[in-house]
Amino acid sequence: MLCSRTYKRIVAAVLGIAVFFGGAAFSDPALPSEASGHLSEVSRQFLADLGVPAEVREKLAESAGESLAARKSVLAESVSGVYSFAVGRAPMDRDEDVQADLEIVEGERQSLRARRDLTLHLAKRGSVNRRRYPDDDALGGALHSYYRSAVGTQSASDVVQGWVLALVWLKTGATEAVLKAFPAETAELDDRYCAFLYERAKWLFDAGNYSEALPVFKHLHDFRWANVGAYLDAAECFLRTGTPEECLKLLKEVMEILGESMSPDAFARTGRLFREAGDREAALSAFRMARERLRQGR
């Protein structure tokens, strides 16, 4: 069995990925006015120490409570650059080592949130096709590497009196370099975008939240992303939500489009789904393909 400390550190690691899946369960509710005022003061000092211009500092500090409640960073622009500020609180633990881990993870989580939101903000000004890529979380993740590779990006985070504060910013001269790095629409961007969509859909699917996963799978299908697992998960999602006819359509589509790349396990799963959806003949065909792939050692 896991010891208490190891378990808590695993929980801390899980917190780190929550930003891409909403993270609602790990976020603070709206603050009472007294706590909000205290957070503003702490934020103001943190930003002053980083040399943030006064007008930007004031806007970000006064909006810190909104960042915490809305689980989004606060953005501000000035002649000096563009700034993204995110705020959170790490869970409390009596074990000092575990507490330090929790604070580090929360700092990384808020930095990631600030980076993602700044990236999305700049994408609106760049050449990224937002109609093609409407999902903010997936687009932010897909563009993350472009942002990180841009010259001039800066970031800082700290834990002050229990508050976890993170700032990511770009000086005015560096903004144009980031905008030029953003692709308008490429196969690589499609692939990264779909990979992030599938991570979320898979997370919901594995948790049994089929009705929530289904819209994500439908959006993923718009791209005809060549991933056998995504097709089969989406087909099963349709089956679990009471639309076996849509399940059958996807199963036939994946065998037609990606059949050559399907493994014996994928064909066996396809057969089981065909059978459960009511197409016995197609199920037998998929099982035969599974045996044939096994025989071929593929």
Domain boundaries, the chain: 4-181, 187-296
pLDDT of 65 reads 85
Strand partners, 74: 85
Q: Is the pLDDT of residue 13 over 70?
A: no
pLDDT band at 281 (very low <50, low <70, confident <90, very high): very high
The DSSP string of 30-94 is PPPHHHHHHHHHHHHHHHHHTT--HHHHHHHHHTHHHHHHHTS-EEEEETTEEEEEEEEEPPP-S
Number of DSSP helices (H) and strands (E) in the chain, helices first: 13, 4
pTM across the whole model: 0.70
Segment 79-95 mean pLDDT: 89
Q: What is the rounded CA–CA span in Å between residue 232 and residue 254?
A: 8
Of residues 91 and 276, which shows the higher confidence score? 276
Alpha-carbon distances of 116 from 7, 39, 113, 145, 298, rounded to whole Å? 29, 22, 5, 10, 40
Segment 43-49 mean pLDDT: 94
pLDDT of 186 reads 79
Nearest to 118 by CA among 157, 86, 78, 92: 86
Averaged confidence pLDDT in the chain: 84
For the domain covering 187-296, report its CATH number.
1.25.40.10
pLDDT of 51 reads 93
Q: What is the DSSP letter of 21?
A: G
pLDDT band at 94 (very low <50, low <70, confident <90, very high): confident
pLDDT band at 3 (very low <50, low <70, confident <90, very high): low
pLDDT of 1 reads 45
pLDDT band at 6 (very low <50, low <70, confident <90, very high): low
Lowest mean pLDDT among 7-11, 90-94, 97-101: 7-11
201, 217 Cβ separation under 8 angstroms? yes
- Pair of tokens at residue 185: 């629409």
Segment 21-39 mean pLDDT: 56
Q: Is the pLDDT of residue 227 over 50?
A: yes
pLDDT of 18 reads 45
Q: What is the rounded CA–CA span in Å between residue 69 and residue 64?
A: 9
